[in-house]
């Protein structure tokens, strides 16, 4: 741009044009996770005890966390592992998914969703997502099912449960396993049931940025069938069985890995669980208040909770439609870029999350895999071509607010972010000019 556009005068002058930012500096520090003395005590108690890993006989912080999360999700079993990615891979392995199998995954997710089937030598097949909820579009999934399909891997992306009724019907019709990627959706409800209880298995991440954090890396897997959970316990422990009250025998019964969780991680998460409901309540009220205001702005598509369920509000993704904002001449990407720049100048910490759809990630597109193209090279037939039209459009025209901006004490900051959005949308003439520049 050669000369800066004049824009509005006074308080409405955009920060990018020399005005005062809408978000005061003191509101810009974002803290997650919240760490209290109770968390510190829990970790130190583990260091003073004898049980640091999950292969210790008897009750440990790891086994207590497993029991508690199984009860919370109302499932028979939970198995703790080293992180959310190993949780996904272990769930698939426990269900017997491996070479020759295809697993249908969404085109829009964090890359681990597609890496997990590859780690089992299964081929990920990409279905498109719903343009409003960002979760697997059941119609697209139906088109991607072949005789090699073994599982559907729905992601409750950003905390919004996928359409588990329609996906469950498809799975039953075709005899497929369902593994939920619930890494972003702890505690979210679908028709009154928790994520984690909506398929054959579900993977949760406890990575420090997630809604239920540990002090580093961790993962939980929930299972509908105790026999599958028993396989997962073997898989995380070199293929061994650890029997309570009996000495370890070092007998390996199947291909396993070392995917164990340590007790420090478990104790920290157990302590966080004591406050999970309070944090959840704070998120529900302050995020709803924020979205009520943002939803009134022209051409802004805001996420919603499912009917009869809830959204965990891990990440907020907003889509921007220039035509609906009265700027039919703007291209979606240019308009989003202009909003990004102007909102950041106001102190609203919007960012892009996912710069490309999963099949466009080099790790997948290049098809190197384990070397020499495995697992793709070993498949008996080519898998269906990826469906990405909606995922690609979402990546072009949306911006996100991340977990740390939705922390329990973020209410005042979120109110200020809404002020920042309102100010930018009162200056749509500037946005339009910048979008064309």
| Contacts to ligand PLP by CB under 6 A | 83-85, 109-110, 112-113, 155, 181, 183-184, 205, 207, 217, 219
In angstroms, what is the minimal distance from the CB of 261 to ligand PLP? 11
Query: Which residues, at least 6 apart from 123, have a Cβ–Cβ distance to it below 8 Å?
Result: 101, 102, 103, 117, 148, 375, 376, 379, 383
Return the half-sphere exposure (C-beta side, CA atoms, 13 A cut-off) of residue 95. Answer: 31
Whether the bond between 105 and the residue before it is cis, its omega within 30 degrees of 0, is: no
Torsion region of 31: left, alpha or beta (phi above 0 gives left; psi -120 to 50 gives alpha): beta
Pick 60 or 90: Cβ nearer ligand PLP: 90
Return the half-sphere exposure (C-beta side, CA atoms, 13 A cut-off) of residue 251. Answer: 6
Pick 134 or 425: Cβ nearer ligand PLP: 134
In angstroms, what is the minimal distance from the CB of 117 to ligand PLP? 12
In angstroms, what is the minimal distance from the CB of 157 to ligand PLP? 6
In angstroms, what is the minimal distance from the CB of 303 to ligand PLP? 15
In angstroms, what is the minimal distance from the CB of 69 to ligand PLP? 15
The H or E element that residue 74 is part of is: none
Catalytic residue flag (residue 403):
no
Q: How far apart are CA 189 and CA 171, in angstroms?
A: 20
Residue of 210, 260, 403, 423 with catalytic role: 210
- Contact indicator for 164, 195 with CB cutoff of 8 Å: no
Q: 3-class SS at 51?
A: coil
DSSP state of 398: E
Residue 422's closest CA among 318, 296, 289? 296
Pick 109 or 149: Cβ nearer ligand PLP: 109
Q: 3-class SS at 189?
A: strand
Q: How far is CA 301 from CA 90, 165, 293, 295, 341, in A?
A: 36, 24, 12, 7, 19
Task: Give residue number: closest CB to ligand PLP.
Answer: 84
In angstroms, what is the minimal distance from the CB of 114 to ligand PLP? 10
Q: How far apart are CA 297 and CA 333, in angstroms?
A: 18
Query: Which residues, at least 6 apart from 173, have a Cβ–Cβ distance to it below 8 Å?
Result: none
Residue 382, token pair as written in the block: 């080519």
Residue numbers annotated as active site: 210
């Amino acid at each position: 741009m050669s000369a800066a556009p004049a824009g509005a005068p006074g308080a409405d002058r955009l920060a990018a044009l020399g005005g005062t930012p809408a978000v005061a500096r003191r509101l810009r520090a974002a803290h997650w996770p919240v760490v209290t003395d109770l968390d510190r005590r829990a970790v130190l108690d583990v260091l003073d005890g004898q049980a640091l890993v999950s292969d210790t006989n008897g009750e440990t912080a790891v086994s207590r966390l497993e029991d508690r999360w199984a009860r919370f999700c109302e499932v028979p079993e939970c198995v703790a592992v080293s992180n959310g990615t190993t949780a996904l891979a272990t769930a698939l392995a426990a269900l017997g998914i491996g070479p020759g199998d295809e697993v249908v995954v969404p085109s829009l997710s964090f890359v681990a969703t597609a890496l997990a089937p590859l780690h089992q030598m299964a081929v990920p097949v990409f279905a498109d997502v719903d343009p409003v909820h960002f979760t697997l579009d059941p119609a697209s999934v139906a088109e991607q099912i072949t005789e090699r399909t073994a599982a559907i891997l729905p992601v409750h992306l950003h905390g919004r449960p996928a359409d588990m009724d329609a996906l469950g019907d498809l799975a039953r019709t075709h005899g497929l396993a369902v593994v939920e990627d619930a890494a972003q959706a702890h505690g979210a409800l679908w028709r009154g049931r928790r994520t984690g209880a909506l398929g054959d298995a579900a993977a949760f991440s406890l990575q420090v940025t997630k809604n239920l954090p540990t002090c580093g890396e961790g993962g939980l897997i929930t299972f509908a069938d105790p026999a599958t959970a028993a396989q997962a316990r073997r898989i995380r422990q070199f293929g061994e069985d650890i029997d309570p009250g009996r000495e370890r025998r070092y007998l390996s019964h199947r291909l396993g890995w070392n995917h164990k969780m340590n007790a420090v991680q478990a104790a920290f998460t157990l302590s966080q669980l004591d406050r999970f409901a309070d944090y959840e309540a704070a998120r529900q009220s302050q995020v709803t208040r924020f979205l009520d205001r943002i939803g009134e702005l022209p051409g802004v598509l805001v996420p919603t909770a499912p009917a009869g369920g809830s959204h965990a509000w891990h990440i907020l993704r907003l889509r921007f439609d220039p035509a609906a904002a009265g700027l039919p001449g703007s291209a979606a990407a240019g308009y989003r870029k202009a909003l990004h720049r102007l909102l950041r100048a106001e102190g609203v910490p919007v960012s892009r999350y996912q710069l490309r759809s999963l099949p466009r990630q080099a790790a997948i597109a290049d098809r190197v895999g384990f070397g020499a193209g495995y697992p793709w090279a070993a498949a008996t037939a080519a898998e269906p071509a990826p469906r990405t039209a909606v995922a690609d459009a979402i990546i072009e025209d949306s911006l996100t607010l991340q977990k740390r901006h939705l922390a329990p004490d973020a209410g005042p900051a979120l109110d200020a972010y809404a002020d920042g959005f309102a100010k930018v949308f009162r200056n749509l003439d500037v946005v339009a000019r910048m979008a064309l520049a």
